Every structure is written in structure tokens, then in C-alpha cells.
Structure 1
Amino acid sequence: MSYPLTAIISDLHGNVPALEVALADARARGARRYVCLGDVVGYGAQPRECLDLVMRLCAESGATDPADGSALEDGLCLRGNHEHALLNSAEDFNPKARAAIEWTREELSRGERDKSFAYWDYLDVIQPKACDERAMFAHGGPREPVREYLLPRDVRDQQKMDANFAAMERDVCFVGHSHVPAVYYQDGRLFRPNGTDGPYALGASRDLRAIVNVGSVGQPRDGDHRLCYVLYDGESVHFVRLEYDHLEAAARIRAVTDLPDYLADRLLVGR
């Protein structure tokens, strides 16, 4: 059975303008399956709308395209550190991120009771890591799937990289969390994609075994304000960078009194 072309998205952070552009592009490129690596919520002004899209698109059974209702391959959504904070505590978050979690918690609890319960039930059951026949998926890293950051500078930390490759349950692992797209090969090579870039071959041999950071749809942090996601065909990965209306996304944050303006500012510069 062939591996379906899979769009892997991460760190949406309540940014609907970015998510809608990413999904339209993935659809146009022929994606038939969607995987979200977590942090659907937090920072941004539309957590409910992002959850509505992800709960349909990434359903593990009966996934459908929100655009036309067509059936998709079964998807997957993971729990990120922001979902974990919503369900537990955001005490270890910085004050701006904590303020966003507190507002998001109230936002998901308002309105129609059944709809609110559906959000919380969904967040409660999604897991921080998963595998399919080809790949492992985690929000943070293979070793610590919720909170561990993998950044380009970590290639100089051989102990950290070795521990993460040792924890991989497949020959490729897709992660998010750092919001910085990169391909880390087990043989020590690091690739920083330049815009829409690829393919990068992935596989079982040491020179193809890799951890792939898919970047962020909703809050890029590599100095490029364009959204980032990847397409995976079971053998290689393409990175996609796209313009979206980041000014509109920033304006929606500024319109919410309880969300710090800093969260809008960083969308303008990709940091």
C-alpha cells in the first residue's frame, strides 16, 4: 500500500489566516492526509476556529476536508506543550505566554456547553507522540515529546543529539516546538531549508536517518514571517513557505485586550 502524501503542520497557535493558506496550498498540491504536531492553541486570537479545523482535518477516523467535506486518509493530532498547559498549569511559561493560556482557557470554556465540552474532551485524549509505518511524530523531540527543544545549535551537542536519535521509534521523526525548520541527519549533517525547498531524502541508513523540524504555521521564529509546513511522501520531505495576511493575524491579537501586543509584534518579523 502506497504512503499517502501527508501535510505535516505544527504550532498553529490560533492563527487562522495562516492555517487557511497552508491548508489550501496542501490541498492544491495533492495532500490526502494531515498530521498536526501540536500547539494548535496559545498566543493567537482564534483557538476555537483552529481547533474546529484540526478536529475535522486530522481526525484519526473519518477525517474530512473542511473546504468541501470530501473524505481524507485518517489523520493525527498531537498534544503540544500549550495543550498540556491548558490541561494542567502554565506556571513554567513566561508571563506573556501564560496570559495567552489563561485567556485561551476562558475562550474554550465560553459559549455552547456541548461545543466547549467537545474541545476539552479532544484536548484530553490527544497524545504527545505517535508512529505510523514509516515515521514517528512528536511535538518536542523523540526523547521528550512535549517540552524538548531541538535547535540548529544543538548539532554541537553530540550527547543531546545521540540521545534523541536513540529514542526514535522509526527512521524518521517529525517534530515542531522550536518553530525553526531544519533537517538533522544522524550522521551530523544539518540542513536549514531556504524557502520552499526539497526534496530531502529520508530512510533507514545512517546518512538518511533524520529528525525533521517542520517549522511553524502560526508563529515562525527563524526571521521569516512566512508560514512553514512540510509534505512527506514516505521517502522524502519538501518544505513549503507561504505568504499569508500576517497583518490581519496581528490585528486580531491586538483586538483582544487580554492578549499582549508582543504576540502580534512577533508575527511581523518572524521571531
Structure 2
Amino acid sequence: MRWAFITDIHANRQAFEAVLADARTQGATHFALLGDFVGYGADPAWVLDQVMALATEGAIAIQGNHDEAVAHGSTPGMHPDARAVIDWTRAQLDEDHLRFLSRLPLQSLGEPGHCLFVHANAFDPKGWEYVQGRAEAVKSLHAHPARIQVCGHMHDPMLFHLSGTGKAGDFRPVAGVPMPLPTHRQWLVIPGSCGQPRDGNPAACYALLDPSRSELDDARITFQRVAYDVDAACAALRASTLPGAIAERLARRLTLGE
């Protein structure tokens, strides 16, 4: 059994296609999709069709803050750019898509290594607070006994741990290098964004988990980076009717990882 953790796709069809293909080539048999399927990108309907199909096949799917916003619609008090993206995205979706987004859970427990899947954090899943460093990671790990938490929301890959004595640490993962997750620690995995990484590397992010097979065997996590057709993703943005300033800003993020 090998799990693929994918998050923050943000309607980027090209990135999601590349990550799904790579995950299957790497032997992934199970999928956990950690939210923010929509928002920003040019292909929300296509991305949601794939997510819904995977969920029908047994994948875990979690609601992110962009999914919630699109499901409920914009409000007059929102920033004009945010309102424009939400309104445009909703116009691309049908009732099945919107119903799916509205019914997604905020968190879910999974079998591999006693995992908790949540978009933002475990201490306040609906507050959408970011895990920006050790302080928030420890707070999240204290909030739930799961040995492995997997969170999205942050667009940069990161790995945090907490020992039984309260000692915390973190790692900036190296793509393609498996890392053991010893059972005497709790772990918080942030796979990084599939559709819009912001660490200076535009290659799509996701992570693979090989669960422990016994109490004496460590689970192993491997963070992956996947090159994809960024030019096509940018062209799709520019061809959409998203406001021009939004499309250009997102195109810069895709090409430069800003």
C-alpha cells in the first residue's frame, strides 16, 4: 500500500495531471486530497471532475478555505480580486460540483500510520490558520493524538515532529529522498502545493507515504516535485475571462514560484 498526498491544486489542470501520472508511476494505490481544489486556476470543473472520480473510488477528500468560499459564494465585503475569482469559478461549475464542495469534511482519519488529514491545522480546522513554523505545528500536534497529521494550506513542503518529551523539530525535505517517520514521535507533513508552489520552484509538489507494516517498522515519507507544462497553465489563465491582473499575477507565481 502506498499513499499519495496531494493538496492545493487550485484548478491547475496541467499540474494535477502531471502529479496523478507521476503518483501512479510511483506505485500509489491510495489518495488523500487535502483541499483547495479550486480558486486561482483556469480549470476548476476539470479538476473537480477528477477529484470527484477519485473520491468515488475511495480517495479521502477534505475541504479547503477556497472550496468553502466557492461553495457558499462571494459576499460584498470581500476584497474585489477575491470576489472576482469566486464569482468566475462558480460560473464554471455545475450544481454537482458545488454540492460536492459544500459537503466535504474539514478533517478525516485514515488507515495509513493512524493519519489525520486536515487542510489547515488540527487545532481549529475551520479557522484556516497557517502552520508557518514550529509553534503552530506543535499546537496542531497537541490538538489530536494521531501519530501522523497531513495538512495543506501552506504552499511550501515541510515536515515537523514532536517527541514524547515535548521536543519539537522540523525538516526542509529534499525531493525524492525517503525519510523514516519513527513511531516514538508525532509527525506533521505539509506536502506543498500541487498547483501553485511558492518556494521559488514552480514544479508541482506532492508526497508519498509508505505506511509501517508492523509496530517495529517505520513509515516512510517521500516528498516529490514534478515538472509540468507551466506555459500551458499560464496560457489557460490568459485565455480565461478572469480579470487580467489576476491572471498575470498567477502566471508569475506559476513561472517564478512567488
TM-score of the superposed pair, with normalisation by structure 2? 0.87
In the alignment, the residues of structure 2 paired with residue 7 and residue 98 of structure 1 have an alpha-carbon distance, to the nearest angstrom, of 32
SS in structure 2 at match of 1:57: helix
Deviation, structure 1 residue 223 = 1.1
Residues 1:93 and 1:219: Cα distance change in structure 2 (over 3 Å): farther
Q: Helix, strand or coil for the counterpart of 1:198? A: coil
Alignment partner of 1:150 is 2:131: yes
1:19 offset after TM fit, Å? 0.5
Cα distance change on mapping 1:54 and 1:268 into 2, 3 Å? same
For 1:214 and 1:190, the matched residues in 2 are separated by 14
Q: What is the identity, as a one-letter code, of the residue corresponding to 1:14?
A: A
- Contact 1:172–1:203 under 8 Å retained in 2: no
Inter-partner Cα distance in structure 2 for 1:139 and 1:93: 22
* Alpha-carbon distance in structure 2 between the residues aligned to 1:216 and 1:53: 17
Q: Partners of 1:23 and 1:98 in 2: how far apart?
A: 30
One-letter amino acid of the counterpart of residue 98, structure 2: W
| Residue 31 of structure 1, aligned match among 28, 33, 40 | 28
Equivalent position of 1:210 in the other structure: 187
Count of equivalent residues: 240
Please, which of 86, 90, 103 is the counterpart of residue 70 of structure 2?
Answer: 86
- The equivalent of 1:269 in structure 2 is 256
How far residue 203 of structure 1 moved from its aligned partner, in angstroms, is 4.3
Q: 1:136 aligned to 2:116?
A: yes
Partner SS, residue 101 of structure 2: helix
**Structure 1 residue 46 displacement after superposition:** 0.2
* 2:216 corresponding residue in structure 1: none
Match of 2:225 among 224, 235, 241: 241
In 2, Cα distance between equivalents of 1:27 and 1:93: 39
Q: Any unmatched runs of 5+ in structure 2?
A: 212-218
Q: CA deviation at 1:145?
A: 2.1
State the alpha-carbon separation in 1 of the partners of residues 95 and 70 from structure 2.
14
Please list every run of 5 or more consecutive structure 1 residues that lacks an aligned counterpart in the other structure: 64-73, 109-115
Q: Cα distance, 1:232 vs. partner?
A: 0.8
Compute the displacement of 1:88 (Å).
2.8
Over 3 Å counting, the alpha-carbon distance change for 1:22 and 1:36 in structure 2 is: same
- Separation of aligned partners in 1, 2:89 and 2:82: 10
> Are positions 1:6 and 2:8 aligned together?
no
1:183 aligns with 2:159: yes
Deviation at 1:94, TM superposition (A): 4.7
| Conserved? CA contact 2:72–2:102, under 8 Å | no
Given residue 81 of structure 2, which amino acid in structure 1 is its aligned partner?
K
Q: Percent identity?
A: 35
- 1:119 is the counterpart of 2:104: no
* Equivalent of 1:257 in 233, 241, 248: 241
Measured after TM superposition, the shift of residue 93 of structure 1 is: 5.9
TM-score under structure 1 length normalisation:
0.83
Within the candidate set 29, 37, 49, 1:52 is matched to 49
Whole-Å Cα distance in 2 between the matches of residues 51 and 77 of structure 1? 11
Partners of 1:203 and 1:131 in 2: CA distance: 19
Contact 1:171 1:203 in 2 (8 A): no
CA contact (8 A) 1:131 1:169 kept: no
